[in-house]
Amino acid sequence: MALKLERIYTKPADLKGYRVLVDRLWPRGISKVNAHLDSWEKEMGPTTELRKWFNHDPEKFPEFKTRYLAEIKANPALPDFLTLLKTQLATQDVILLYGAKDETHNQAVILKAFLLTALADQVPAAQLQD
């Protein structure tokens, strides 16, 4: 199974897998019905302070990455989130959804890379394709 990234505004949406929104804020203009979510893990998004500081400025991305990784590692919701993903990856793809327009400089890119490393010793490599 694979861990994938998808912008929640993408059409057509990939509905073949476990869809989890990893933004702290609900994406504008998306209804809960049209989102086709299995889970909204808002605690895994960057804190409001960090998100506002970053403000989707690509020049701030390296520092944002450092700060966000520190938040992830200290996040009390992380163990449950890892367990959820490990369970889902055993049977299906997991699609991390985000709302940012920039598909390269956003928190979901950082979170996915972190998760691939964090789950590497818990999920067989054959089930954890990038």
The string of pLDDT tens digits covering residues 36-58 is 999 999 999 999 999 999 999 99
- Is 29 within a domain? yes
d(CA 45, CA 108): 8
- Is 129 within a domain? no
Structure tokens at 29: 């203009």
Beta bridge partners of 39: 20
Name the residue with tokens 């369970």.
87
- Is 104 within a domain? yes
Model pTM score: 0.91
Tell me how crowded residue 69 is: count the other CB atoms within 10 A of its CB: 14
Domain span at residue 81 reads 3-119
Q: Which of 16-30, 52-66, 90-104, 110-124 has the lowest mean pLDDT?
A: 110-124
- Is 83 within a domain? yes
- Is 130 within a domain? no
d(CA 129, CA 71): 25
- Is 126 within a domain? no
Name the residue with tokens 């299995």.
38
- Is 128 within a domain? no
Does the pLDDT at position 29 exceed 80?
yes
Report how many domains make up the chain: 1
Mean pLDDT (whole number) for 93-114: 96
